[in-house]
Structure 1
Protein backbone atom coordinates (compact mmCIF):
# COMPACT_ATOMS: atom_id res chain seq x y z
CA UNK A 1 0.00 0.00 0.00
CA UNK A 2 2.76 2.43 0.85
CA UNK A 3 4.46 1.83 -2.52
CA UNK A 4 1.41 2.94 -4.51
CA UNK A 5 0.84 5.95 -2.26
CA UNK A 6 4.41 7.24 -2.76
CA UNK A 7 4.30 6.91 -6.55
CA UNK A 8 1.07 8.85 -7.04
CA UNK A 9 2.48 12.46 -7.11
CA UNK A 10 5.00 11.75 -9.90
CA UNK A 11 2.80 12.90 -12.79
CA UNK A 12 1.87 16.33 -11.35
CA UNK A 13 5.53 17.07 -10.60
CA UNK A 14 6.53 16.14 -14.13
CA UNK A 15 3.72 18.25 -15.58
CA UNK A 16 4.90 21.21 -13.51
CA UNK A 17 8.44 20.88 -14.78
CA UNK A 18 7.27 20.71 -18.41
CA UNK A 19 5.05 23.74 -17.89
CA UNK A 20 7.89 25.75 -16.37
CA UNK A 21 10.21 24.82 -19.21
CA UNK A 22 7.58 25.79 -21.77
CA UNK A 23 7.01 29.13 -20.07
CA UNK A 24 10.76 29.74 -19.99
CA UNK A 25 11.13 28.91 -23.68
CA UNK A 26 8.23 31.14 -24.65
CA UNK A 27 9.64 33.97 -22.56
CA UNK A 28 13.06 33.61 -24.18
CA UNK A 29 11.61 33.58 -27.69
CA UNK A 30 9.46 36.57 -26.76
CA UNK A 31 12.65 38.57 -26.24
CA UNK A 32 14.79 37.00 -28.98
CA UNK A 33 12.06 36.40 -31.56
CA UNK A 34 11.69 39.93 -32.97
CA UNK A 35 15.45 40.40 -33.36
CA UNK A 36 15.75 36.94 -34.93
CA UNK A 37 13.09 37.73 -37.53
CA UNK A 38 14.77 41.05 -38.32
CA UNK A 39 18.15 39.34 -38.82
CA UNK A 40 16.61 36.65 -41.00
CA UNK A 41 14.71 39.25 -42.99
CA UNK A 42 17.88 41.26 -43.62
CA UNK A 43 20.01 38.25 -44.57
CA UNK A 44 18.00 35.29 -45.87
CA UNK A 45 15.47 37.22 -47.94
CA UNK A 46 18.07 39.39 -49.79
CA UNK A 47 20.20 36.29 -50.40
CA UNK A 48 17.29 34.39 -51.96
CA UNK A 49 16.26 37.42 -53.98
CA UNK A 50 19.83 37.88 -55.25
CA UNK A 51 19.89 34.21 -56.27
CA UNK A 52 16.75 34.76 -58.31
CA UNK A 53 18.14 37.92 -59.92
CA UNK A 54 21.40 36.12 -60.78
CA UNK A 55 19.43 33.95 -63.23
CA UNK A 56 17.94 36.96 -65.00
CA UNK A 57 18.89 39.88 -67.20
CA UNK A 58 17.63 42.98 -65.44
CA UNK A 59 18.64 46.64 -65.26
CA UNK A 60 16.22 47.60 -62.53
CA UNK A 61 13.80 49.31 -64.94
CA UNK A 62 12.80 47.02 -67.78
CA UNK A 63 11.06 43.72 -67.04
CA UNK A 64 13.58 40.99 -66.16
CA UNK A 65 14.36 38.32 -68.74
CA UNK A 66 15.06 34.76 -67.54
CA UNK A 67 18.51 33.53 -68.57
CA UNK A 68 18.93 30.36 -66.56
CA UNK A 69 22.60 29.90 -65.66
CA UNK A 70 23.92 32.12 -68.48
CA UNK A 71 25.28 34.77 -66.10
CA UNK A 72 27.36 32.14 -64.33
CA UNK A 73 28.68 30.89 -67.66
CA UNK A 74 29.68 34.42 -68.66
CA UNK A 75 31.88 34.65 -65.56
CA UNK A 76 34.19 31.99 -67.02
CA UNK A 77 35.03 34.18 -70.04
CA UNK A 78 35.17 37.63 -68.47
CA UNK A 79 38.74 39.03 -68.59
CA UNK A 80 37.85 41.96 -66.32
CA UNK A 81 36.61 39.54 -63.68
CA UNK A 82 39.82 37.51 -63.97
CA UNK A 83 41.81 40.70 -63.45
CA UNK A 84 39.73 41.55 -60.36
CA UNK A 85 40.24 38.04 -59.00
CA UNK A 86 44.01 38.36 -59.51
CA UNK A 87 44.10 41.68 -57.66
CA UNK A 88 42.03 40.19 -54.82
CA UNK A 89 44.34 37.19 -54.52
CA UNK A 90 47.45 39.39 -54.40
CA UNK A 91 45.92 41.70 -51.82
CA UNK A 92 44.79 38.77 -49.65
CA UNK A 93 48.13 36.97 -49.94
CA UNK A 94 49.94 40.09 -48.71
CA UNK A 95 47.44 41.32 -46.15
CA UNK A 96 46.68 38.16 -44.16
CA UNK A 97 50.25 37.01 -43.32
CA UNK A 98 51.41 40.55 -42.58
CA UNK A 99 48.45 41.24 -40.32
CA UNK A 100 49.09 38.05 -38.36
CA UNK A 101 52.83 38.69 -38.07
CA UNK A 102 52.53 42.36 -37.10
CA UNK A 103 49.69 41.61 -34.70
CA UNK A 104 51.72 38.93 -32.94
CA UNK A 105 54.88 41.04 -32.69
CA UNK A 106 53.04 44.08 -31.37
CA UNK A 107 51.06 41.93 -28.92
CA UNK A 108 54.29 40.40 -27.58
CA UNK A 109 55.76 43.88 -27.12
CA UNK A 110 52.64 45.17 -25.35
CA UNK A 111 52.54 42.09 -23.14
CA UNK A 112 55.78 43.13 -21.49
CA UNK A 113 55.81 45.08 -18.19
CA UNK A 114 56.36 48.51 -19.72
CA UNK A 115 55.15 51.94 -18.66
CA UNK A 116 52.03 53.40 -20.29
CA UNK A 117 51.11 49.99 -21.72
CA UNK A 118 47.41 50.87 -21.58
CA UNK A 119 48.01 54.04 -23.58
CA UNK A 120 49.92 52.14 -26.26
CA UNK A 121 47.20 49.48 -26.49
CA UNK A 122 44.59 52.17 -26.95
CA UNK A 123 46.61 53.85 -29.71
CA UNK A 124 46.95 50.55 -31.55
CA UNK A 125 43.23 49.75 -31.29
CA UNK A 126 41.84 53.18 -32.21
CA UNK A 127 42.35 52.80 -36.01
CA UNK A 128 40.30 49.58 -35.91
CA UNK A 129 37.21 51.33 -34.54
CA UNK A 130 37.56 54.25 -36.95
CA UNK A 131 35.39 53.98 -40.05
CA UNK A 132 37.10 52.40 -43.05
CA UNK A 133 35.79 55.25 -45.19
CA UNK A 134 37.54 57.76 -42.93
CA UNK A 135 40.72 55.70 -43.14
CA UNK A 136 40.55 55.76 -46.93
CA UNK A 137 39.98 59.50 -47.09
CA UNK A 138 42.91 60.07 -44.74
CA UNK A 139 45.09 57.81 -46.91
CA UNK A 140 44.40 59.93 -49.99
CA UNK A 141 46.00 62.89 -48.22
CA UNK A 142 48.87 60.94 -46.67
CA UNK A 143 49.88 59.30 -49.96
CA UNK A 144 49.08 62.20 -52.27
CA UNK A 145 51.89 62.45 -54.89
CA UNK A 146 52.05 66.27 -54.73
CA UNK A 147 51.56 67.32 -51.10
CA UNK A 148 51.30 64.04 -49.18
CA UNK A 149 53.21 63.67 -45.93
CA UNK A 150 54.92 60.46 -47.10
CA UNK A 151 56.45 62.11 -50.16
CA UNK A 152 57.43 65.08 -48.00
CA UNK A 153 59.38 62.68 -45.80
CA UNK A 154 60.98 61.04 -48.84
CA UNK A 155 62.08 64.42 -50.21
CA UNK A 156 63.68 65.30 -46.89
CA UNK A 157 65.98 62.25 -47.15
CA UNK A 158 66.76 62.74 -50.85
CA UNK A 159 64.41 60.08 -52.28
CA UNK A 160 62.37 60.90 -55.37
CA UNK A 161 58.61 61.30 -54.80
CA UNK A 162 56.44 58.28 -55.59
CA UNK A 163 53.04 58.07 -57.26
CA UNK A 164 51.61 55.59 -54.71
CA UNK A 165 47.83 55.40 -55.28
CA UNK A 166 48.24 56.75 -58.83
CA UNK A 167 50.76 54.08 -59.87
CA UNK A 168 49.45 50.73 -61.19
CA UNK A 169 52.51 48.95 -59.79
CA UNK A 170 52.32 50.52 -56.32
CA UNK A 171 48.62 50.88 -55.62
CA UNK A 172 48.02 47.39 -54.23
CA UNK A 173 50.97 47.66 -51.87
CA UNK A 174 49.69 51.01 -50.59
CA UNK A 175 46.21 49.57 -50.11
CA UNK A 176 47.69 46.72 -48.10
CA UNK A 177 49.50 49.20 -45.86
CA UNK A 178 46.33 51.25 -45.37
CA UNK A 179 44.33 48.12 -44.60
CA UNK A 180 46.95 46.98 -42.10
CA UNK A 181 46.85 50.33 -40.35
CA UNK A 182 43.09 50.05 -40.00
CA UNK A 183 42.78 46.40 -38.95
CA UNK A 184 45.98 45.29 -37.23
CA UNK A 185 44.51 46.47 -33.94
CA UNK A 186 42.08 43.57 -34.05
CA UNK A 187 44.82 40.95 -34.35
CA UNK A 188 46.81 42.69 -31.61
CA UNK A 189 43.90 42.53 -29.18
CA UNK A 190 43.18 38.88 -29.97
CA UNK A 191 46.82 37.82 -29.64
CA UNK A 192 47.29 39.91 -26.51
CA UNK A 193 44.35 38.19 -24.83
CA UNK A 194 45.70 34.80 -25.87
CA UNK A 195 49.19 35.58 -24.57
CA UNK A 196 47.80 36.62 -21.21
CA UNK A 197 45.81 33.37 -21.07
CA UNK A 198 48.89 31.14 -21.39
CA UNK A 199 49.69 29.64 -17.95
CA UNK A 200 52.93 30.99 -16.51
CA UNK A 201 53.72 27.51 -15.22
CA UNK A 202 54.41 26.33 -18.78
CA UNK A 203 56.98 29.01 -19.57
CA UNK A 204 58.57 28.79 -16.15
CA UNK A 205 58.89 25.01 -16.42
CA UNK A 206 60.51 25.35 -19.85
CA UNK A 207 63.00 27.90 -18.50
CA UNK A 208 63.83 25.66 -15.55
CA UNK A 209 64.46 22.78 -17.96
CA UNK A 210 67.11 24.86 -19.72
CA UNK A 211 65.22 26.37 -22.65
CA UNK A 212 66.09 29.89 -23.75
CA UNK A 213 63.59 32.61 -24.64
CA UNK A 214 63.52 31.75 -28.32
CA UNK A 215 62.91 28.06 -27.63
CA UNK A 216 60.15 28.92 -25.17
CA UNK A 217 58.48 31.06 -27.82
CA UNK A 218 58.78 28.39 -30.50
CA UNK A 219 57.85 25.28 -28.53
CA UNK A 220 55.53 26.69 -25.86
CA UNK A 221 54.02 30.02 -26.92
CA UNK A 222 53.38 29.32 -30.60
CA UNK A 223 51.55 25.99 -30.02
CA UNK A 224 49.36 27.67 -27.40
CA UNK A 225 48.49 30.41 -29.91
CA UNK A 226 47.58 28.02 -32.73
CA UNK A 227 43.78 28.12 -32.24
CA UNK A 228 43.84 31.92 -32.07
CA UNK A 229 45.98 32.05 -35.21
CA UNK A 230 43.50 29.91 -37.14
CA UNK A 231 40.57 32.05 -36.04
CA UNK A 232 42.39 35.29 -36.86
CA UNK A 233 43.55 33.97 -40.23
CA UNK A 234 39.98 33.07 -41.20
CA UNK A 235 38.69 36.45 -40.03
CA UNK A 236 41.37 38.43 -41.86
CA UNK A 237 40.93 36.37 -45.03
CA UNK A 238 37.24 37.20 -45.12
CA UNK A 239 38.10 40.85 -44.43
CA UNK A 240 40.55 40.95 -47.35
CA UNK A 241 38.15 39.23 -49.75
CA UNK A 242 35.39 41.71 -48.89
CA UNK A 243 37.52 44.85 -48.92
CA UNK A 244 35.53 47.67 -50.47
CA UNK A 245 35.34 50.86 -48.37
CA UNK A 246 39.02 51.74 -48.60
CA UNK A 247 39.14 51.10 -52.34
CA UNK A 248 36.00 53.15 -52.92
CA UNK A 249 37.31 56.15 -51.00
CA UNK A 250 40.84 56.07 -52.43
CA UNK A 251 41.14 54.75 -55.97
CA UNK A 252 37.68 53.72 -57.22
CA UNK A 253 39.37 50.69 -58.75
CA UNK A 254 42.06 52.72 -60.53
CA UNK A 255 44.45 53.59 -61.88
CA UNK A 256 43.56 51.70 -65.05
CA UNK A 257 41.74 49.07 -63.02
CA UNK A 258 44.88 48.10 -61.11
CA UNK A 259 43.11 48.10 -57.74
CA UNK A 260 39.75 46.73 -58.82
CA UNK A 261 38.90 43.80 -56.56
CA UNK A 262 36.00 41.38 -56.89
CA UNK A 263 33.78 43.29 -54.47
CA UNK A 264 34.40 46.58 -56.24
CA UNK A 265 33.83 44.83 -59.58
CA UNK A 266 30.41 43.73 -58.30
CA UNK A 267 29.66 47.30 -57.30
CA UNK A 268 30.77 48.58 -60.70
CA UNK A 269 28.59 46.08 -62.57
CA UNK A 270 25.62 46.83 -60.34
CA UNK A 271 25.88 50.59 -59.91
CA UNK A 272 27.56 51.86 -63.05
CA UNK A 273 26.51 49.33 -65.70
CA UNK A 274 23.20 48.31 -64.06
CA UNK A 275 23.83 44.65 -64.80
CA UNK A 276 21.96 43.46 -61.75
CA UNK A 277 21.78 39.83 -62.79
CA UNK A 278 25.46 39.47 -63.63
CA UNK A 279 26.52 41.37 -60.49
CA UNK A 280 24.42 39.01 -58.37
CA UNK A 281 26.01 36.00 -60.07
CA UNK A 282 29.50 37.30 -59.32
CA UNK A 283 28.45 37.93 -55.72
CA UNK A 284 27.37 34.33 -55.35
CA UNK A 285 30.62 33.19 -56.89
CA UNK A 286 32.55 35.22 -54.32
CA UNK A 287 30.36 33.80 -51.55
CA UNK A 288 31.06 30.25 -52.69
CA UNK A 289 34.82 30.83 -52.87
CA UNK A 290 34.88 32.50 -49.44
CA UNK A 291 32.90 29.63 -47.94
CA UNK A 292 35.19 27.01 -49.47
CA UNK A 293 38.33 28.79 -48.24
CA UNK A 294 36.90 29.17 -44.75
CA UNK A 295 35.75 25.55 -44.53
CA UNK A 296 39.09 24.36 -45.91
CA UNK A 297 41.02 26.27 -43.26
CA UNK A 298 38.75 25.02 -40.47
CA UNK A 299 38.92 21.39 -41.61
CA UNK A 300 42.70 21.55 -41.98
CA UNK A 301 43.03 23.04 -38.51
CA UNK A 302 40.85 20.35 -36.95
CA UNK A 303 42.81 17.59 -38.66
CA UNK A 304 45.94 19.08 -37.15
CA UNK A 305 44.27 18.96 -33.75
CA UNK A 306 43.52 22.69 -33.50
CA UNK A 307 40.00 23.49 -32.32
CA UNK A 308 39.53 27.15 -33.21
CA UNK A 309 35.76 27.10 -33.79
Structure 2
Protein backbone atom coordinates (compact mmCIF):
# COMPACT_ATOMS: atom_id res chain seq x y z
CA UNK A 1 0.00 0.00 0.00
CA UNK A 2 2.93 2.32 0.63
CA UNK A 3 4.65 1.49 -2.64
CA UNK A 4 2.94 4.15 -4.85
CA UNK A 5 3.73 6.91 -2.36
CA UNK A 6 7.30 5.71 -1.85
CA UNK A 7 7.79 5.46 -5.61
CA UNK A 8 6.55 9.03 -6.08
CA UNK A 9 8.80 10.25 -3.27
CA UNK A 10 11.80 8.50 -4.81
CA UNK A 11 11.15 9.79 -8.34
CA UNK A 12 10.03 13.35 -7.61
CA UNK A 13 12.01 14.14 -4.45
CA UNK A 14 15.01 11.88 -3.87
CA UNK A 15 16.15 11.67 -7.49
CA UNK A 16 15.99 15.47 -8.12
CA UNK A 17 18.01 16.05 -4.92
CA UNK A 18 20.72 13.63 -6.05
CA UNK A 19 20.64 14.90 -9.65
CA UNK A 20 20.90 18.56 -8.62
CA UNK A 21 23.91 17.74 -6.43
CA UNK A 22 25.62 16.19 -9.44
CA UNK A 23 24.62 19.13 -11.66
CA UNK A 24 26.15 21.59 -9.20
CA UNK A 25 29.56 20.38 -10.41
CA UNK A 26 28.69 20.78 -14.08
CA UNK A 27 27.90 23.34 -16.76
CA UNK A 28 24.64 22.55 -18.59
CA UNK A 29 22.15 24.67 -20.53
CA UNK A 30 19.66 21.85 -21.36
CA UNK A 31 20.79 21.86 -25.01
CA UNK A 32 24.53 21.22 -24.97
CA UNK A 33 26.11 18.08 -23.45
CA UNK A 34 26.82 18.21 -19.72
CA UNK A 35 30.34 19.50 -19.00
CA UNK A 36 31.99 18.69 -15.67
CA UNK A 37 33.59 21.81 -14.11
CA UNK A 38 34.30 20.65 -10.57
CA UNK A 39 33.98 23.37 -7.91
CA UNK A 40 33.95 26.21 -10.45
CA UNK A 41 30.25 26.99 -9.89
CA UNK A 42 30.78 27.32 -6.13
CA UNK A 43 33.83 29.53 -6.59
CA UNK A 44 31.95 31.75 -9.04
CA UNK A 45 29.30 32.41 -6.42
CA UNK A 46 31.70 34.36 -4.21
CA UNK A 47 32.60 36.70 -7.07
CA UNK A 48 29.01 37.11 -8.25
CA UNK A 49 27.89 40.53 -7.01
CA UNK A 50 24.25 39.73 -7.76
CA UNK A 51 24.39 36.55 -5.67
CA UNK A 52 25.94 38.46 -2.77
CA UNK A 53 23.21 41.11 -3.04
CA UNK A 54 20.34 38.61 -3.08
CA UNK A 55 21.96 36.72 -0.20
CA UNK A 56 21.94 39.87 1.93
CA UNK A 57 18.39 40.60 0.77
CA UNK A 58 17.39 37.16 2.04
CA UNK A 59 19.07 37.79 5.39
CA UNK A 60 17.32 41.17 5.60
CA UNK A 61 13.97 39.57 4.83
CA UNK A 62 14.52 36.89 7.49
CA UNK A 63 15.87 39.24 10.16
CA UNK A 64 12.84 41.53 9.87
CA UNK A 65 9.96 39.18 9.08
CA UNK A 66 10.70 36.38 11.58
CA UNK A 67 10.80 38.32 14.90
CA UNK A 68 7.95 40.66 13.93
CA UNK A 69 5.81 37.79 12.65
CA UNK A 70 6.41 35.69 15.77
CA UNK A 71 5.70 38.59 18.14
CA UNK A 72 2.47 39.53 16.38
CA UNK A 73 1.36 35.89 16.22
CA UNK A 74 1.93 35.43 19.95
CA UNK A 75 0.05 38.61 20.85
CA UNK A 76 -2.79 37.63 18.55
CA UNK A 77 -2.94 34.12 20.02
CA UNK A 78 -3.12 35.54 23.55
CA UNK A 79 -5.94 37.86 22.50
CA UNK A 80 -7.86 35.03 20.83
CA UNK A 81 -7.34 32.69 23.79
CA UNK A 82 -9.83 34.65 25.86
CA UNK A 83 -13.18 33.05 26.53
CA UNK A 84 -15.25 35.71 24.77
CA UNK A 85 -18.16 35.38 22.36
CA UNK A 86 -17.36 35.11 18.65
CA UNK A 87 -13.77 33.92 19.17
CA UNK A 88 -14.20 31.00 16.78
CA UNK A 89 -15.15 33.42 14.02
CA UNK A 90 -12.10 35.62 14.66
CA UNK A 91 -9.78 32.61 14.77
CA UNK A 92 -11.09 31.43 11.40
CA UNK A 93 -10.85 34.95 9.96
CA UNK A 94 -7.21 35.37 10.97
CA UNK A 95 -6.36 31.92 9.61
CA UNK A 96 -8.07 32.60 6.25
CA UNK A 97 -5.01 34.26 4.58
CA UNK A 98 -2.96 31.10 5.24
CA UNK A 99 -5.22 28.99 3.02
CA UNK A 100 -5.72 31.74 0.44
CA UNK A 101 -3.92 31.61 -2.90
CA UNK A 102 -0.74 33.68 -2.98
CA UNK A 103 -1.83 34.97 -6.39
CA UNK A 104 -5.02 36.41 -4.89
CA UNK A 105 -3.09 37.81 -1.92
CA UNK A 106 -0.54 39.46 -4.22
CA UNK A 107 -3.26 41.08 -6.34
CA UNK A 108 -4.98 42.48 -3.24
CA UNK A 109 -1.79 43.89 -1.76
CA UNK A 110 -0.68 45.35 -5.10
CA UNK A 111 -3.92 47.31 -5.06
CA UNK A 112 -3.32 48.34 -1.42
CA UNK A 113 0.19 49.56 -2.33
CA UNK A 114 -0.87 51.39 -5.49
CA UNK A 115 0.59 54.90 -5.23
CA UNK A 116 -2.40 56.64 -6.88
CA UNK A 117 -5.55 54.93 -5.62
CA UNK A 118 -4.25 52.39 -3.11
CA UNK A 119 -5.80 52.08 0.32
CA UNK A 120 -2.53 52.49 2.22
CA UNK A 121 -1.57 55.82 0.65
CA UNK A 122 -5.16 57.02 1.05
CA UNK A 123 -5.02 56.33 4.79
CA UNK A 124 -1.65 58.05 5.04
CA UNK A 125 -3.03 61.09 3.21
CA UNK A 126 -5.70 61.46 5.91
CA UNK A 127 -2.96 62.29 8.41
CA UNK A 128 -1.03 64.50 6.01
CA UNK A 129 1.57 61.97 4.83
CA UNK A 130 2.33 61.51 1.15
CA UNK A 131 2.88 57.79 0.65
CA UNK A 132 5.71 56.52 -1.58
CA UNK A 133 5.53 54.32 -4.66
CA UNK A 134 5.78 51.20 -2.52
CA UNK A 135 6.59 48.48 -5.03
CA UNK A 136 8.76 50.60 -7.32
CA UNK A 137 10.93 52.16 -4.63
CA UNK A 138 14.29 50.61 -3.81
CA UNK A 139 13.74 51.72 -0.21
CA UNK A 140 10.16 50.61 0.39
CA UNK A 141 9.71 47.61 -1.92
CA UNK A 142 11.28 45.08 0.47
CA UNK A 143 9.38 46.32 3.56
CA UNK A 144 6.18 46.10 1.48
CA UNK A 145 6.91 42.48 0.52
CA UNK A 146 7.82 41.68 4.13
CA UNK A 147 4.54 43.14 5.39
CA UNK A 148 2.58 41.06 2.90
CA UNK A 149 4.44 37.88 3.87
CA UNK A 150 3.88 38.52 7.58
CA UNK A 151 0.16 39.06 7.00
CA UNK A 152 -0.04 35.87 4.91
CA UNK A 153 1.61 33.63 7.51
CA UNK A 154 0.30 35.26 10.67
CA UNK A 155 -2.60 32.86 11.08
CA UNK A 156 -0.48 29.70 10.96
CA UNK A 157 1.87 30.79 13.73
CA UNK A 158 -1.11 32.12 15.68
CA UNK A 159 -2.74 28.69 15.55
CA UNK A 160 0.42 26.97 16.82
CA UNK A 161 0.77 29.47 19.67
CA UNK A 162 -2.92 29.10 20.48
CA UNK A 163 -2.49 25.34 20.87
CA UNK A 164 0.53 25.96 23.11
CA UNK A 165 -1.37 28.44 25.28
CA UNK A 166 -4.27 26.06 25.75
CA UNK A 167 -1.81 23.43 26.95
CA UNK A 168 -0.64 25.58 29.89
CA UNK A 169 -2.45 24.48 33.09
CA UNK A 170 -4.69 27.22 34.47
CA UNK A 171 -3.67 26.57 38.09
CA UNK A 172 -0.26 28.17 37.41
CA UNK A 173 -1.97 31.48 36.75
CA UNK A 174 -4.27 31.04 39.74
CA UNK A 175 -1.30 30.43 42.03
CA UNK A 176 0.47 33.50 40.62
CA UNK A 177 -2.61 35.65 41.24
CA UNK A 178 -2.73 34.48 44.84
CA UNK A 179 0.90 35.63 45.19
CA UNK A 180 -0.06 39.05 43.85
CA UNK A 181 1.44 38.77 40.34
CA UNK A 182 0.12 41.20 37.72
CA UNK A 183 -0.58 40.30 34.08
CA UNK A 184 2.91 41.26 32.90
CA UNK A 185 4.60 39.14 35.57
CA UNK A 186 2.37 36.18 34.68
CA UNK A 187 3.26 36.62 31.03
CA UNK A 188 7.05 36.69 31.60
CA UNK A 189 7.21 34.14 34.41
CA UNK A 190 4.61 31.61 33.22
CA UNK A 191 3.53 32.07 29.62
CA UNK A 192 6.91 32.71 28.00
CA UNK A 193 8.84 29.86 29.73
CA UNK A 194 6.09 27.27 29.22
CA UNK A 195 5.71 28.32 25.58
CA UNK A 196 9.43 27.81 24.92
CA UNK A 197 9.01 24.50 22.98
CA UNK A 198 6.24 26.06 20.88
CA UNK A 199 8.26 29.21 20.27
CA UNK A 200 11.26 27.11 19.26
CA UNK A 201 9.20 25.17 16.71
CA UNK A 202 7.62 28.33 15.29
CA UNK A 203 11.02 30.04 15.05
CA UNK A 204 12.68 27.14 13.24
CA UNK A 205 9.84 26.85 10.72
CA UNK A 206 9.67 30.62 10.23
CA UNK A 207 13.41 30.89 9.53
CA UNK A 208 13.30 28.00 7.04
CA UNK A 209 10.27 29.46 5.25
CA UNK A 210 11.73 32.96 5.14
CA UNK A 211 14.95 31.73 3.52
CA UNK A 212 12.81 29.96 0.90
CA UNK A 213 10.53 32.91 0.13
CA UNK A 214 9.74 33.16 -3.57
CA UNK A 215 6.08 33.50 -4.53
CA UNK A 216 5.45 36.91 -2.96
CA UNK A 217 8.61 38.34 -4.55
CA UNK A 218 7.90 36.81 -7.95
CA UNK A 219 4.28 37.93 -8.05
CA UNK A 220 4.63 41.42 -6.59
CA UNK A 221 7.98 42.83 -7.74
CA UNK A 222 9.77 40.26 -9.96
CA UNK A 223 12.82 40.96 -7.78
CA UNK A 224 12.92 44.66 -8.61
CA UNK A 225 13.44 47.49 -8.57
CA UNK A 226 17.19 47.17 -9.15
CA UNK A 227 17.11 43.76 -7.43
CA UNK A 228 16.18 45.38 -4.13
CA UNK A 229 13.68 42.56 -3.46
CA UNK A 230 15.41 39.70 -5.26
CA UNK A 231 16.09 36.81 -2.86
CA UNK A 232 18.03 33.58 -3.21
CA UNK A 233 15.24 31.33 -4.45
CA UNK A 234 14.17 33.95 -6.97
CA UNK A 235 17.75 34.21 -8.27
CA UNK A 236 17.98 30.41 -8.43
CA UNK A 237 14.76 30.37 -10.46
CA UNK A 238 16.13 32.99 -12.85
CA UNK A 239 19.39 31.12 -13.44
CA UNK A 240 17.67 27.77 -13.93
CA UNK A 241 14.60 28.66 -16.00
CA UNK A 242 15.46 31.98 -17.64
CA UNK A 243 19.24 31.85 -18.13
CA UNK A 244 19.33 28.01 -18.35
CA UNK A 245 22.42 27.81 -16.15
CA UNK A 246 21.37 24.57 -14.50
CA UNK A 247 24.72 23.81 -12.88
CA UNK A 248 25.07 27.29 -11.41
CA UNK A 249 21.49 27.24 -10.11
CA UNK A 250 22.08 23.82 -8.54
CA UNK A 251 25.20 25.12 -6.78
CA UNK A 252 23.22 28.04 -5.36
CA UNK A 253 20.51 25.63 -4.22
CA UNK A 254 23.02 23.64 -2.20
CA UNK A 255 24.56 26.78 -0.72
CA UNK A 256 21.05 27.76 0.40
CA UNK A 257 20.53 24.26 1.80
CA UNK A 258 23.73 24.39 3.84
CA UNK A 259 22.95 27.88 5.15
CA UNK A 260 19.48 26.77 6.31
CA UNK A 261 20.90 23.55 7.79
CA UNK A 262 23.60 25.46 9.68
CA UNK A 263 21.15 27.98 11.13
CA UNK A 264 18.75 25.19 12.11
CA UNK A 265 21.53 23.23 13.83
CA UNK A 266 22.54 26.33 15.77
CA UNK A 267 18.93 26.80 16.88
CA UNK A 268 18.71 23.17 18.02
CA UNK A 269 22.04 23.47 19.85
CA UNK A 270 20.97 26.60 21.69
CA UNK A 271 17.61 25.05 22.59
CA UNK A 272 19.37 21.95 23.91
CA UNK A 273 21.58 24.13 26.09
CA UNK A 274 18.54 26.06 27.40
CA UNK A 275 19.89 29.35 26.08
CA UNK A 276 17.66 29.91 23.07
CA UNK A 277 15.06 31.92 24.98
| Cα distance, 1:158 vs structure 2 | 2.4
Task: Show the counterpart of 1:298.
Answer: 268
**Which of 74, 84, 96 matches 2:66?**
96
Task: Show the counterpart of 1:266.
Answer: 236
Task: Show the counterpart of 1:254.
Answer: 224
Which ranges of structure 2 fall in alignment gaps of 5 or more residues? none
CA distances 1:195-241 after superposition (whole Å, capped 9, x unpaired): 11100111111111222221111111110000000000000111110
| Cα distance, 1:274 vs structure 2 | 1.1
Task: Show the counterpart of 1:141.
Answer: 111
Task: Show the counterpart of 2:193.
Answer: 223
Q: How many angstroms apart in 2 are the aligned matches of 1:160 and 1:238?
A: 36
Q: How many angstroms apart in 2 are the aligned matches of 1:223 and 1:36?
A: 40
TM-score (norm 1): 0.87
Task: Show the counterpart of 2:100.
Answer: 130
| Cα distance, 1:179 vs structure 2 | 0.3
Task: Out of 84-93 and 269-278, give the one that drifted further.
Answer: 269-278
> Structure 1 residue 179 and structure 2 residue 149: aligned?
yes
1:3-82 counterparts in 2 under 5 A? Answer: 31-82=1-52
Q: How many angstroms apart in 2 are the aligned matches of 1:147 and 1:64?
A: 51
| Cα distance, 1:36 vs structure 2 | 2.1
| Cα distance, 1:100 vs structure 2 | 0.7
| Cα distance, 1:147 vs structure 2 | 2.1
Q: How many angstroms apart in 2 are the aligned matches of 1:61 and 1:234?
A: 39
Large movers: runs of 4+ above 6 Å: none
Q: How many angstroms apart in 2 are the aligned matches of 1:215 and 1:158?
A: 39
SS at match of 1:279: helix
Contact 1:88 1:261 in 2 (8 A): yes
Contact 1:56 1:67 in 2 (8 A): yes
| Cα distance, 1:42 vs structure 2 | 1.6
Task: Out of 203-212 and 97-106, give the one that drifted further.
Answer: 203-212
| Cα distance, 1:153 vs structure 2 | 2.0
Task: Show the counterpart of 1:114.
Answer: 84
> Structure 1 residue 237 and structure 2 residue 220: aligned?
no
SS at match of 1:158: coil
CA distances 1:43-91 after superposition (whole Å, capped 9, x unpaired): 1100111111111111111111110111011111111000001110011
SS at match of 1:161: coil
> Structure 1 residue 276 and structure 2 residue 246: aligned?
yes
Q: How many angstroms apart in 2 are the aligned matches of 1:144 and 1:64?
A: 45
| Cα distance, 1:305 vs structure 2 | 7.8
| Cα distance, 1:144 vs structure 2 | 1.3
Pair member with larger Rg: 1
| Cα distance, 1:146 vs structure 2 | 2.1
**Which of 188, 192, 200 matches 2:158?**
188
Contact 1:164 1:171 in 2 (8 A): yes
Which ranges of structure 1 fall in alignment gaps of 5 or more residues? 1-30
